[in-house]
Structure 1
Amino acid sequence: MHYLTRIWAHLALLIPLVAKSFAVAVAHQNVLRLNPTLLYNISTNFAGNSSDSFLQTTGLDNSTAMMRPFIAYDDEFEHLLAKDATLEHLYTNPDNKPVADEMGIWVWDHNEVWMSSSSVDNISYTSILDLSDQSVKPLLVSSNGIPILNPNGGGYFNGKVYIAGDGNATIPPAIYEIDPVTLDARIIIDSYFGLRLNGPNDLTWGCRDNNSWLFFTDDPLSYYYSKGDFPTIPDATWRWDPKEETLLPVIDRTDILIPNGIRVNKDSTKLYVTDTPSTQVPGSGFEQTSTSPEQYYGSDTSAIYEFDLGPDGFPYNKRLFGITQRGISDGLHLDDDGRIWTAEADGIVIRSSSGKVLGMINALAIQRPKVADSSQLPLQNFALAGDRIIILAYTQIYQVRLSHAIVKSMT
C-alpha cells in the first residue's frame, strides 16, 4: 500500500472516534446533527435540569447552533426534511388570542387543520386553519346550535371530525361528531350509566376488517371548567363500538393514572397512550398535601405506553415505550411508517417504532408568545398534514415542509 494511502486509511478510522463527542456538521443549514450517544453519555462535567431543554445541558455545545429549528440524532429524521426546510410562519392572531393550543386534526380532503384554543376565562374554542390561504376562523358553535364546549383532543374519520370536549358546570363533558362541510354536530357520548365523564382529553379510531372502534382518554380536567363538580367515575381509557352500541373501559387507572394523548398505528395493531406527570394545581381538589394549600394532580411519570391491539379491538401487553425529558407528551401522532411524534416541552420529538429518538423540532427556535402568562410553552400540539407539520404555538402557527408525505390520510 502506498505511504499516503496508509495515512489516509488510518485517518479514516480515527475520524468517527474524534467526532463522537461533538455535533456533526451537515449540509442542511437549519439542522444541528448530534451524535445519538449524547443522549446517554456526555462527559464527567455534565449538568442537566428538568426545567430546561436538553440542549441547555452543561457539557453540550450551548452555542447559537442550539437555536437551530431541527436537531437530528439519526439520518432518518434528516431525510424526512425538505432540502430548504425551516420554521415557516403561517399565522399570528391579530388580537393576541391563544387560538392554537391543542388538538391538531388534519381534515385532509378539505385542506384544513382543526385546533382548539387555550382556556381563557374557563372557555376554550375550536378554530379552523384553511391551508390554502392560511386563514383561521373560529367555530364557537355548530351550525345546528350545539356548542362544542371546551374542546381538547380529536381526530378525523370517515368524513367526520370527532372532538373530545371538557364541558362546564351546565353541559357535561362529551364526544362530538361534526360534519366539516355543514358544520352540523351531534353528541355521541356524554355519560356512563348516568354519570358524567370526567373530561375526555383525546381520541383516536381503530379499524380491523369490517369493525371500527373509537378510543378516548378521560381524566379530571373538566373539574377546572365545572367549578366544583368532582369526578364521579375513575379515570380510564375507553372504547366505543358504534356497531355493537357499547361503551367499555379498556385501560384503568392502575395501568395509567391520568391518561392523556392516544393514537393507533396505521394497521390498528398498536395503541399508544401517554400519562400525565405530577403538577401542583391550586384548588384542584386532588390529594391535598400536609404542608401546602396546593393540591396534587397526576402521576409521577410523563410516560408513553404501547399496547398491542387485538382483532377484537381490546388492548393488551402494555409496555413502557418512552419517557419525555421534560413536560408532558401531550400532542401524540403517528405517521404511516409507524414513527411516533410527541409534543413535549423540548419540542416535537420523533421516535422510531422501536422507541429510538430520531430527532426533534426545537422549541427553543420558536418565538415565545408575548402574553401575560410568561410560563406558557412556545408549542403545545401539532398536526401531521401530508408532507407538512403544522405547529400550534399558542398565538401563532408554523409549518415545516417535509421531503415527502408521511401520512396519506389521517384517521
Structure 2
Amino acid sequence: MLFQLLIIICISTNTYASNKLVTLPLSITSLFQATYFYRNTTVPFSFTNCTGVNDADNSDPAENKLLKSRNASFISYSTEFKSLIDSNTTPKLIEQQPVSIPFAHEGGAYVPETNEVWFSANQLPQQNTNVSSINLTTNEVTLLNINNPINTPNGIKYFNSLVYVCSQGTKTIPAAIYAVNPTTLVSKVIVNSWFGYRLNSPNDVTFSTKISGKTFMWFTDPQVAYQQGFAGVPEYQNTVFRYDMLTGELRPVITDLITPNGIAFNQEETVLYVSDTTPTSDIAIVYAYDLTKDGLPMNRRIFSVSSYGIPDGIKVDKYDRVWTAEGDGINVRNSYGTLLGVILGYNLSSNGLISNFELKDNTVIILAQEKLWRLDLAQNVL
C-alpha cells in the first residue's frame, strides 16, 4: 500500500529473537512508574527510554518487561493473544533477497486452487510487474508469469475462483483492477475508469456478498502513485469505491479520507474497516463504518490509532479480531478496538516494516519487504 521509510534506532536487524513472548499489562500504555521516561517519535513503544528502573530488579516491574520486549518476538496484552503462542510459534524465514529488492510488500491473498498465498513487490525503487506466490505445502516461492502483466501491482484479494489485483498504473498505462485466473494465469481488466476519469492508484480491495443481496467489490483509490512520482496528475479526490459485480456500476462511497489504504469487512459484513494513512500529516487511523440496508457506509468512528507508523494491511479473523500491519508489527485487536497483542516486526526486515500479511488456518504469511516469513500459530484463526 503506502511506502514508508521508518527510522528505528538501537535495533539490530542482523539477528532474530526466536520464540520470546513478553506479557505486559495494558495499563503500561497509559501509566509509567519510572522516575523519568521519554519516547522519541522515530521509535516503537518498546524503545521508550526509562530511568529509575533496575533491569535486574527481582520484582520485574512492567517497565523492565517493556525493555525486554525490544528483543522479543511477541508482546501480549491479554490471555486471548497469549493463547495463540506456544513453544513452536516462531517466525521462520522462507526467502530473503537484497534490501534493494522489496519483493514481499503487498497483497497477501490465499488461493485455494493452488494452496498458495499471492503477494506483490513494492513499486520502489523501480516500477515492476512482480506478483509472486508461496506454496503452503512446500514453502516454495514462485514469481508468477501472468499473461497481460500487471503494472505496479499492490493489494490482492481472492474471490469466487479469481484473484483480483490492484494495479497502480504508470504515467502512460491507466491504473485498474485486474482479475487473474489462478490456474491459467490469464488476466483481464475489470475496472479502470470512473466516468472517463482514470483511477488514481487502487491500493487494496475486498468483497461483500451479504449486503442487499448483491455482490460488491470495494477498493481504496488514493493518489499515492502520483505522490510517489510514477503516475500522472490525479483527476479526482482520494476515494473508496464500491463496484457492483452484476451491473458494472462504480460508485464513490467515501470521499473524505486523507489517504484511504487498507480495507476489510467483519465476518457478517455489517462493519467496514478502512485505514486512513499518510506520513506527511501524521494520520494513522482505522475507521469503522456501519452499512445502510443499501450498502452505503455510515456512522464513521475511530476504531484504532497506530502508536507507531501507519496501519496498512487489514485482515479480520473468524473471531472478528482485526489484524493490522503497523510500524511496530502486526497488531491484533478485538472487535471493540482493544489491543490484544503484537507480532513484533523489529527484526523481520531491514527497516522493521511489515506492510501486509495473510491469514490461513493457523498460518500467518508475513510480507517484510526483502524477507518473507511464515508463522504457525497455536490455534486456527481463519
Short-chain TM bin = 0.7 to 0.9
Q: Secondary structure at 2:141's aligned position in 1?
A: strand
Is residue 202–residue 260 contact of structure 1 (8 Å, CA) maintained in 2? yes
Alignment match, 1:286: none
Deviates more, 1:121-130 or 1:314-323: 121-130
* Distance in structure 1 (CA, Å) of the matches to 2:42 and 2:120: 26
Describe the SS at the equivalent of 1:147. coil
Corresponding position of 1:322: 304
Question: What TM-score, normalized to structure 2?
Answer: 0.86
- The answer to whether the aligner puts 1:42 opposite 2:42 as a matched pair is no
Higher RCO (CA-CA < 8 Å; seq separation 6+): 2
- Structure-1 residue corresponding to 2:380: 405
Whether 1:346 and 2:328 are equivalent positions in the alignment is yes
Give 1:128 shift. 1.2
SS in 2 for 1:110: coil
Distance 2:99 2:309 in 1: 28
Q: Distance in 2 between matches of 1:52 and 1:124?
A: 33
Query: In structure 1, what is the Cα distance between the partners aligned to 2:339 and 2:321?
Result: 10
Structure 1 counterpart of 2:260, one-letter code: P
> Alignment partner of 2:346: what SS?
helix
One-letter code of the match for 2:381? I
Q: Secondary structure at the match of 2:127?
A: coil
SS at match of 1:171: coil
Q: Summarize deviations over 1:91-125 as a string: whole Å, max 9, x none.
A: 22379732101111122342111111112323352
Decide whether the 8 Å contact of 1:169 with 1:225 is kept in 2.
no
Aligned to 1:167: 169
Q: Letter of the 1:405 partner, please give it.
A: N
Partner of 2:260: 259
Q: Match of 1:19?
A: none
| Equivalent position of 1:312 in the other structure | 294
Q: State the distance in 1 between where 2:150 and 2:19 align.
A: 43
Q: Secondary structure at the match of 1:206?
A: strand
Aligned to 2:49: 58
**C-alpha distance in 2 between matches for 1:228 and 1:70:** 38
State how far apart, in whole Å, the 2-side matches of 1:58 and 1:197 are.
45
Q: Which amino acid in the other structure matches residue 308 of structure 2?
A: R
Matched position secondary structure for 1:80: coil
Verify the 8 A CA contact 1:122 1:225 in the aligned structure 2: no
Give CA deviations for 1:185-230 in whole Å, capped at 9, x if unaligned. 1101101111101110101101116421111000112225774621
Q: Measure how far apart 1:380 and its partner are.
A: 2.0
Aligned: 1:357 with 2:350:
no
1:231-250 paired onto structure 2 within 5 Å:
231-250=234-253
Larger Rg: 1
- Which whole-Å CA distance do the structure 2 matches of 1:361 and 1:77 have between them? 10
* Structure 2: gaps of 5 or more residues: 1-17, 51-62
Q: Report what 1:123 is aligned to.
A: 128
Moved more, 214-223 or 124-133: 124-133
Alpha-carbon spacing, 1:275–1:94, altered in 2? closer, same or farther (3 Å): closer
Counterpart in 2 of 1:217?
Answer: 220
Gaps of 5+ in 1: 1-27, 280-298, 370-375
Give the structure 2 partner of residue 93 of structure 1. 97
How far off is 1:365 after superposition?
Answer: 3.5
Task: Report if aligned partners of 1:153, 1:203 keep a CA contact under 8 Å in 2.
Answer: yes
One-letter identity of the residue aligned with 2:210: R
Paired amino acid for 1:170: T
Task: Determine what percentage of the aligned residue pairs are the same residue.
Answer: 34
Q: 1:179 aligns with which of 178, 181, 189?
A: 181
SS of the residue corresponding to residue 348 of structure 1 reads strand
Which residue identity does 1:268 align to in structure 2? E
Separation (CA, whole Å) in 1 of partners of 2:260 and 2:99: 33
- Of Structure 1 and Structure 2, the greater helix share is in 1
Deviation at 1:130, TM superposition (A): 1.4
Distance 1:168 1:56, change over 3 A: same
Distance 1:196 1:64, change over 3 A: same
Structure-1 residue corresponding to 2:11: none
Spell out the pairing of 1:367-378 with structure 2 (5 A cutoff).
Answer: 368-369=349-350, 376-378=351-353
Q: Which amino acid aligns with 1:238?
A: F
Q: Is the 8 A contact 2:46 2:67 kept in 1?
A: no
Describe the superposition over 1:276-313 as per-residue Cα deviations: whole angstroms up to 9, x where unpaired.
1332xxxxxxxxxxxxxxxxxxx441100000123422
Question: What's the CA shift string for 1:59-94, capped at 9, x where partnerless?
Answer: 332544431101100000011224421111222237
**CA–CA separation in structure 2 for the residues paired with 1:364 and 1:54:** 11
**Greater mean alpha carbon deviation, residues 329-338 or residues 309-318:** 309-318
SS at match of 2:40: coil
Cα distance between partner residues in 2 of 1:300 and 1:55: 20
- Equivalent positions of 1:7-86 (< 5 A) are 30-43=20-33, 44-59=35-50, 60-61=63-64, 63-86=67-90
The alpha carbon displacement at 1:55 in A equals: 0.4
1:269-288 correspondence to structure 2 within 5 Å:
269-279=270-280
Shift of 1:385: 1.7
Instruction: Tell whether 2:378 aligns with 1:387.
Output: no
Contact 1:122–1:224, Cα closer than 8 Å, also in 2: no
Q: Deviations over 1:35-64 (max 9, x none)?
A: 110111123522112210100112332544
**CA 1:58 to 1:156, structure 2 compared with 1: closer, same or farther past 3 Å?**
same
Matched residue SS, 1:275: strand
Figure out how many residues of one structure are paired with residues of the other and give that number: 349
Match of 1:197 in 2: 199
Contact 1:173 1:222 in 2 (8 A): no
Contact 1:303 1:324 in 2 (8 A): yes
Q: Deviations over 1:330-352 (max 9, x none)?
A: 11111111111111111110011
Normalising by structure 1, we get a TM-score of 0.80
Match among 139, 153, 156 for residue 154 of structure 1: 156
Q: After superposition, what is the alpha-carbon deviation per residue over 1:242-298, rounded to whole angstroms, capped at 9, x for unaligned? A: 123211000112xx121000001111111000011332xxxxxxxxxxxxxxxxxxx
